[in-house]
């Protein structure tokens, strides 16, 4: 009776299988650490004692001094309305995003589902706008805002960002993919176009609206250039702009700047995580 | 039927009115005004607007600051393109290799895209500051603390990697949907031919990803002409204009020296530069795609 020889081929297959499984997990965890690292660093530094900020990655103790300082200021540095800045960010971003979504839904529905004269021309113009370099419009848009008396006002931040061409384009392509028969049925039942849009079409557009809204919200939340040139007063600045303009004067207070950064970052991550279950599905449509 | 159509026409226009009104005020008028500004010298305040013809454009073409802004995108590209392509392709292949939890991983790797350039610049400023743990570690090996933001090549490296970090998860999702449309038979056939994993990555995966690569390349190259926040926060365009960008120059000329016309001319040059470079990249990508059996 001969002893069965060791099955080397099977052995290597197993090493390969478990080896790559382990490697995959190691790479995935390492990747997530890199992706989340700067956020974690920011949080740790915002809670570190001031003598340790930017000197140690993991502080020896945790303190909320940086956050308290943001609210109260100190004898040596003027307190800035940081909390108000957070409120300003929220106000500007929420109003802008809602308006961008609403305008895009209406225009997207009209351009994809209604027949009217000039429709094709409008759609072509939208494509032209999407590819026209926005930077050439920056200075004249600023001049118009000033001419309209909107310089240094909330409206100056919200109205020029109240319509988003990309969102219209996305809704046009999405509404085109909706089954026409359902809309016809609603029309025969005597529903108005407004009712069809809000009762029939929108309930079908949950994922796509979540993802478009997410992108609009994210981009508006971290906008720098426009808010920087339109607003002068600290009372109206968004938190993002306030951090940017104070990073020089507050260079010797890195702890509070980290705290302000955390306050700026938490909402956007929360919004993203809340809508993340729509994310993969909706994102696939956006890529098409 | 006729009544329905007429009603539709009215509703169609009603639904597009908000968009149209906005477009007239914030696109059509600025469009015309912008073209007029290019040929005039105006300080945003004075009632006098001088017509200078091509003067602004000629001045811009001769300016050292504009020359720096022309070159900087290519310097960023040298760091950003390889870094972001390797990272995003790696993430996409990695996510695709998991059977479960792909959505969760996609969400995790997308986190960097949510970052504000302002706050990330603060973090990086801290990480490369003189007393930082990173510098302490590095100085043990090289004996001194590198001046990350004060050395031209290092400043380019830092900013290029920051932007690559931010966009890697986003581009990975584009690659991921490309990967998932590659038919499995191609890999099986290659396996029968005895091709290893690495070989089949280069001979099958990359060419099959052509549509995704094409979009990512154009997005990534275009992005480098619009960099503003990171150098604004970290270097102010320095040292010695090494990280000076188009947007910094436009911002500086329009809102610091208050030369609206000159700034608009630079914006026009920026658009032309993007048009040319993206056009070249498009050509290169298309010929690469054709070589691998894709049609335009």
Q: Any bridge partners for residue B51, and if so which?
A: B40
Using the beta-carbon criterion (under 8 Å), do B113 and A264 form an inter-chain contact? no
CB atoms within 10 A of CB A259: 25
Contact A240, A222 (CB under 8 A): yes
Q: Kindly give, in sequence order, each residue whose CB lies less than 8 Å from that of residue B143, ignoring residues fewer than 6 positions away.
A: none
| A259 touching chain B per CB within 8 A | no
Q: Which of these, A249, A244, A248, lies nearest to A261 by C-alpha position?
A: A244
pLDDT of residue B1: 38
**What are the structural domain ranges in chain B?**
59-291
Using the beta-carbon criterion (under 8 Å), do B119 and A243 form an inter-chain contact? yes
Residues of A in contact with B91 (CB under 8 A): 31
CB atoms within 10 A of CB A122: 19
Locate the chain A residue with the closest alpha carbon to B262. Answer: A139
| Per-residue model confidence as pLDDT tens digits over A23-71 | 888 999 999 999 999 999 999 999 988 888 888 888 888 888 888 888 8
| B84 touching chain A per CB within 8 A | no
Q: How far apart are CA B263 and CA B252, in angstroms?
A: 8
| B139 touching chain A per CB within 8 A | no
Helix B246-255 to helix B64-97 angle (10° resolution) is 130
Q: Which pLDDT band, with edges at 50, 70 and 90, does A248 fall under?
A: confident
Tell whether the model's pLDDT for residue A110 goes beyond 60. Answer: yes
Residues of A in contact with B258 (CB under 8 A): none
| Per-residue model confidence as pLDDT tens digits over A192-237 | 888 888 888 888 888 889 889 999 999 999 999 999 999 998 889 9
Q: How far apart are CA A206 and CA A84, in angstroms?
A: 32
| A27 touching chain B per CB within 8 A | yes
Residues of A in contact with B109 (CB under 8 A): 31-32, 35
**Phi and psi torsions of B40, nearest 5°:** -130, 160
Q: Any bridge partners for residue B50, and if so which?
A: B41
Q: How far apart are CA B117 and CA B245, in angstroms?
A: 15
Tell whether the model's pLDDT for residue A75 goes beyond 70. Answer: no
Q: How far apart are CA A243 and CA A247, in angstroms?
A: 6
Burial of B211 (0-12, 13-18, 19+ CB in 10 A): middle
**Phi and psi torsions of B51, nearest 5°:** -85, 125
In the 8-state DSSP scheme, what is residue B121? H
pLDDT of residue A78: 65
Q: What SS3 class is residue B46?
A: coil
pLDDT of residue A74: 64
Q: How far apart are CA A145 and CA A209, in angstroms?
A: 29
Q: Which two tokens stand for residue B37?
A: 């500004």
Integer CA distances (angstroms), A159 to A49, A108, A210, A220, A226, in order: 42, 19, 22, 12, 12
Residues of A in contact with B11 (CB under 8 A): 110, 114, 116, 192-194
* Nearest CB to B19; choose among A103, A137, A273: A103
**Phi and psi torsions of B253, nearest 5°:** -70, -35
Least Cα separation, residue A168 to chain B (angstroms): 9
**What's the CATH fold of domain B59-291?**
MetI-like fold (1.10.3720)
Q: Mean pLDDT in chain A?
A: 87
Which residue bears the tokens 């010695």?
Answer: B240
Using the beta-carbon criterion (under 8 Å), do B26 and A144 form an inter-chain contact? yes
One-letter-per-residue 3-state SS of chain A: CCCCCCCHHHHHHHHHHHHHHHHHHHHHHHHHHHHHHHHHHHHHHHCCCHHHCCCCCCCCCCCCHHHHHHHHCCCCCCCCCHHHHHHHHHHHHHHHHHHHHHHHHHHHHHHHHCCCCCHHHHHHHHHHHHHCCCHHHHHHHHHHHHHCCCCCCHHHHHHHHCCCHHHHHHHHHHHHCCCHHHHHHHHHCCCCHHHHHHHHHHHHCHHHHHHHHHHHHHHHHCCCHHHHHHCCCHHHCCHHHHHHHHCCCCCCCHHHHHHHHHHHHHHHHHHHHHHHHHHHHHHHHHHC
User: Is ipTM > 0.90 here?
Assistant: no
What pTM was computed for the model? 0.88
Least Cα separation, residue A132 to chain B (angstroms): 9
CA B60 to the chain's CA centroid: 23
pLDDT of residue A158: 94
Q: Which of these, B99, B161, B92, B75, lies nearest to A37 by C-alpha position?
A: B161
Q: Which pLDDT band, with edges at 50, 70 and 90, does A77 fall under?
A: low
Q: Which of these, A179, A182, A217, lies nearest to A196 by C-alpha position?
A: A182
Integer CA distances (angstroms), B8 to A171, B14, B17, in order: 19, 10, 14
Q: How far apart are CA B107 and CA A210, in angstroms?
A: 14
**What are the structural domain ranges in chain A?**
8-72, 82-287
Q: Would you call the peptide bond into B239 cis, given omega within 30 degrees of 0 as the criterion? A: yes
For the domain A82-287, what is the CATH superfamily, name and number?
Answer: MetI-like (1.10.3720.10)
pLDDT of residue B3: 45
Residues of B in contact with A243 (CB under 8 A): 116, 118-119, 122
Q: Kindly give, in sequence order, each residue whose CB lies less than 8 Å from that of residue A190, ignoring residues fewer than 6 positions away.
A: none
Q: Which of these, B21, B270, B37, B267, lies nearest to A160 by C-alpha position?
A: B21
Q: Which pLDDT band, with edges at 50, 70 and 90, does A280 fall under?
A: confident
| B272 touching chain A per CB within 8 A | no
H helical segments located in chain B = 2-23, 29-38, 55-62, 64-97, 102-110, 117-127, 133-142, 152-179, 184-192, 197-200, 206-208, 210-223, 229-234, 246-255, 260-291
Give B162 or A72, the one with higher predicted confidence.
B162
- pLDDT tens, residue order, chain B (296 aa): 334 455 777 888 889 899 999 999 999 999 999 888 889 888 777 777 788 888 889 988 999 999 999 999 999 999 999 999 999 999 999 998 888 888 888 889 999 999 999 999 999 998 988 888 888 888 888 888 888 998 999 999 999 999 999 999 999 999 998 888 888 888 888 878 877 778 888 888 888 899 999 999 999 999 999 999 999 999 988 788 999 999 999 999 999 888 989 999 999 999 999 999 999 999 999 999 888 888 76
Q: Write out residues 14-53 of B within 8 Å (CB-CB) of A.
A: 14-16, 18-20, 22-23, 25-27, 29-31, 33-34, 37, 44
Q: Which two tokens stand for residue B32?
A: 């015309």
Q: How far apart are CA A164 and CA A148, in angstroms?
A: 20
* Largest separation between any pair of C-alpha atoms in chain A: 100
| A127 touching chain B per CB within 8 A | no
Least Cα separation, residue B153 to chain A (angstroms): 23
């Amino acid at each position: 009776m001969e002893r069965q020889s060791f099955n080397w081929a099977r052995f290597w297959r197993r090493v390969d299988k478990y080896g790559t499984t382990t490697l995959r997990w190691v790479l995935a965890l390492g990747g997530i650490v890199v992706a989340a690292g700067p956020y974690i660093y920011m949080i740790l530094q915002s809670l570190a004692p001031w003598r340790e900020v930017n000197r140690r990655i993991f502080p020896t103790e945790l303190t909320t001094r940086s956050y308290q300082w943001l609210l109260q200021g100190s004898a040596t540095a003027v307190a800035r309305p940081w909390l108000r800045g957070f409120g300003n960010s929220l106000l500007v971003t929420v109003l802008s995003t809602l308006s961008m979504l609403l305008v895009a839904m209406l225009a997207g529905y009209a351009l994809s589902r209604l027949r009217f004269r000039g429709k094709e021309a409008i759609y072509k113009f939208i494509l032209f706008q999407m590819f026209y370099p926005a930077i050439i419009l920056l200075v004249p848009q600023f001049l118009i805002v000033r001419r309209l008396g909107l310089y240094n006002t909330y409206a100056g931040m919200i109205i020029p960002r109240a319509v988003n061409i990309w969102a219209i384009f996305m809704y046009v392509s999405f509404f085109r993919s909706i089954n026409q028969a359902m809309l016809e049925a609603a029309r025969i039942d005597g529903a108005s176009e407004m009712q069809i849009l809000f009762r029939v079409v929108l309930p079908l557009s949950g994922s796509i609206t979540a993802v478009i809204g997410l992108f609009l919200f994210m981009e508006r939340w971290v906008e720098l250039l426009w808010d920087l040139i339109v607003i002068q007063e600290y009372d109206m600045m968004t938190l993002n702009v306030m951090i940017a303009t104070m990073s020089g004067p507050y260079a010797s207070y890195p702890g509070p700047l980290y705290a302000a950064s955390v306050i700026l970052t938490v909402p956007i991550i929360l919004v993203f995580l809340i809508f993340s279950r729509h994310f993969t599905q909706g994102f696939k449509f956006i890529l098409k | 039927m006729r009544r329905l159509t007429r009603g539709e026409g009215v509703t169609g226009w009603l639904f597009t009115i908000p968009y149209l009104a906005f477009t007239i005020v914030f696109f059509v008028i600025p469009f015309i005004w912008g073209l007029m500004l290019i040929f005039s010298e105006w300080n945003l305040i004075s009632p006098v607007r001088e017509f200078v013809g091509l003067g602004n454009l000629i001045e811009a073409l001769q300016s050292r600051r504009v020359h720096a802004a022309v070159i900087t995108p290519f310097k960023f590209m040298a760091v950003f393109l390889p870094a972001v392509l390797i990272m995003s392709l790696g993430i996409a292949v990695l996510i695709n290799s998991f059977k479960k939890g792909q959505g969760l991983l996609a969400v995790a790797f997308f986190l960097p895209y949510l970052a504000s350039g302002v706050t990330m610049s603060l973090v990086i400023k801290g990480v490369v500051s003189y007393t930082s743990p990173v510098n302490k570690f590095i100085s043990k090996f090289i004996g001194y603390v590198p001046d990350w933001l004060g050395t031209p090549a290092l400043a380019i490296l830092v900013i290029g990697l920051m932007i690559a970090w931010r966009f890697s998860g986003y581009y990975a999702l584009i690659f991921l949907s490309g990967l998932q449309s590659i038919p499995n038979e191609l890999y099986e056939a290659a396996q029968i031919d005895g091709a290893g994993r690495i070989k089949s990555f280069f001979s099958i995966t990359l060419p099959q990803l052509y549509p995704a690569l094409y979009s990512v390349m154009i997005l990534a190259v275009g992005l480098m002409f619009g960099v503003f926040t990171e150098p604004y926060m970290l270097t102010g365009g320095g040292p010695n204009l090494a990280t000076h960008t188009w947007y910094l120059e436009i911002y500086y000329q329009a809102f610091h020296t208050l030369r609206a016309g000159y700034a608009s001319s630079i914006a026009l040059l920026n658009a032309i530069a993007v048009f040319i470079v993206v056009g070249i990249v498009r050509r290169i990508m298309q010929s690469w795609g054709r070589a691998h059996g894709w049609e335009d």
